[in-house]
Chains A and B, each alone.
Chain A
């Protein structure tokens, strides 16, 4: 089984490739990148006018299985990922039961192997039940396939527990991912604390609730030497602190979501729960600092924080609705729109943020078109006009603020381990 991808603009940041070429795939592996490759018997994909990149990695998704299959399953979430141009996703552990054991990790790995059209890498919990108290079986989860640890959805509030977790993460050589939110400062909040929350009479989640947790954790990362990663970074202070630590040689990184670099609290439709997530959409200045951090290298990866919730849970009073929006299918369109077409970053930098960036944190052995690498390829257009209809989403949930938005550029085909996982109709 082989595929030749003809005549596309091949962008492979790992080898600093950016030229028109063919890509040959056989037996699930990249064979090579060259001009006018001889086509063996197999499929030919004409990528003229398209970009051919290593498969995109989304290091932050919620697949909701086991336990919340009414919102999403490993299969439905992975289909949405493929349609968004992602070939690998990392599944956060806040399932039911929480992925805090090798048993749950193995269940996810096995379900994904049978049903998912993309690679699914579990992230194990830091603490048992993500309760923030007792460390989970980190080594056993790593042996079962976990690629990182996080209590995402919740922060590890105890500095003592976080310190111990970092020590273990370091000894197992796993990145430790924190959802940075001081729960005492954010308690009861529903949106960013600012002029909008005051106007609408909604309780605020202050930027400081993120900042103080990032500051604390950076000190602990220095103490322990752990590879520390800030999930869905959203404030200008947090970006500046991570960048400061990074420049001083600490192995710390952060990710930005498409919704945080695309929208601010001022863009919210009043009391519309499709704009409710954690961290909340921040101020215009925070959003600008995030884009600047992406352009300047302070941000290492783009991740969606794809968070499905069924309509029944989002059809409530704003303050009762759960936090989170889906994002797999709109991530590339938003990144092109807000970062590339606006002139803030190059196309090669965009590909980095989806490939070598997360790969440098997770070490999956992917994110490159080097010969011999697993044949994960994302083919996308920078120009194609298309409109997002959330009702046609592969996700089981519909909670997106980008329904009806017309994009310039988006995914065209996704190849996972040498076979097409999705093609635009």
Chain B
């Protein structure tokens, strides 16, 4: 199997630390007037997005270009995908054009893993179904570590639709490898008990106040209405019980930060005041996304 990046679960601490250190190195480049390096000069990256995405796709494109590489983005609508071509046929066709990596997002869990078994091209997972979103967890870790010396011992509350969240899974795997205490919180129907077995140090609660109490980091998840295959929770009362509101923050540690993978729904997962709260780091996450994806592309292709 070519060396791509399919998930956080299979990475070890040293590999993650190396990517995060490299991302830190790339951070200042984001604010230079001349941002372009030549690490990936002559390299071609294909971004293949089977699911709508603005920020992740753009972030990968910018990361590739800042490293001097060429990036082509393909979305499912308007491509041969909408003409009924199978996933493996599409990928074989793309692989025959000899890209150096394929960045892929797909609504089916495991789609990139399935392809990695059949393709010679390294695949970078930009989100597969409800499974993993490794670069999101890496940029979240980079963002936390910009404000804390270590992840060890931190209490991290992850709140929302955990069952359907690839962001939650990747973050759980990463944070657990570094000794964080992770509390997963959401409505009972979106919080299967087996989540506690994902990694060491994971506990579950349906009470948002318990989750937030003494937390160092509060990660809010987007309510994934497109992944709701049934009425798993009464949507009308979601915000009342699982939306993050300003008064909740009094329960957390005074220096707690608020994160969100975006795009945010003001009034659904978090109140507008929280989104604009001074310790909300949502835009730092976006900025770190580019640095982290540069580090990942460099690791996979460079």
Task: Please list the residues of chain A having a beta carbon within 8 angstroms of any beta carbon in chain B.
Answer: 187-188, 193-195, 197-204, 270-271, 312, 315-320
Contacts and interface: CB of A to CB of B under 8 A. Distances in A.
Tell me if A's interface is mostly helix, strand, loop or mixed. loop
Contact of B108 (A195, A204, A318): A318
Interface stretch (B125-133, B243-251, B252-260, B269-277): B125-133
A271 B198 contact: no
B63 to A, nearest CB: 25
Contacts of A312: 86
A195 B202 CA distance: 14
A70 to B, nearest CB: 16
A188 B109 contact: no
Nearest to A194: B194
B92 to A, nearest CB: 11
B111 A317 contact: yes
Contacts of A188: 229-230
Contacts of B9: 199
- Contact size range, B: 20 to 34
Interface of B: 9, 86-88, 106, 108-111, 113-114, 118, 128-132, 163-164, 166, 169, 192, 194-195, 197-198, 229-230
A42 B19 CA distance: 75
A319 B87 contact: no
A271 B229 contact: no
Nearest to A197: B194
Could you say which of A187, A271, A317 has the most chain B C-beta atoms within 10 Å of its C-beta? A317
Contact of A319 (B108, B132, B163, B169): B108
A271 B130 contact: no
A316 B9 CA distance: 23
Given A195-B197, A201-B129, A270 B88 contact: no
A187 B195 CA distance: 21
Max chain A Cβ within 10 angstroms of own Cβ: one of B109, B128, B132, B197 = B109
B195 A198 contact: yes
A195 B110 CA distance: 16
Q: Which of A195, A197, A199, A319 has the most CB of B within 10 A?
A: A199
B106 A317 contact: yes
B110 A270 contact: yes
Contact of B114 (A197, A199, A317): A317
A198 B230 contact: no
B129 to A, nearest CB: 5
Contacts of B230: 187-188
A316 B88 contact: yes
B195 A271 contact: no
A271 B88 contact: no
Contact of A317 (B87, B132, B197): B87
Given A187-B229, A271-B114, A317-B87, A201 B109 contact: yes
A201 B114 contact: no
Nearest to A315: B88
Contacts of B108: 317-320
Contacts of B88: 315-316
A332 to B, nearest CB: 30
A319 B194 CA distance: 20
A199 B176 CA distance: 14
Given A187-B229, A200-B131, A201-B128, A318 B110 contact: yes
A271 B110 contact: yes
Given A201-B128, A201-B131, A316-B87, A271 B109 contact: yes
B86 A315 contact: yes
B190 to A, nearest CB: 11
B231 to A, nearest CB: 12
B20 to A, nearest CB: 24
A198 B192 contact: yes
**Those 3 A-B pairs whose CB atoms lie nearest each other, nearest first:** A271-B110, A201-B130, A201-B131
Contacts of A197: 194
Nearest to A188: B229
A405 B132 CA distance: 31
Contacts of B113: 270-271
A202 B197 contact: no
A202 B192 contact: no
Contacts of A204: 192
A318 B114 contact: yes
Given A187-B230, A316-B86, A317-B87, A199 B110 contact: no
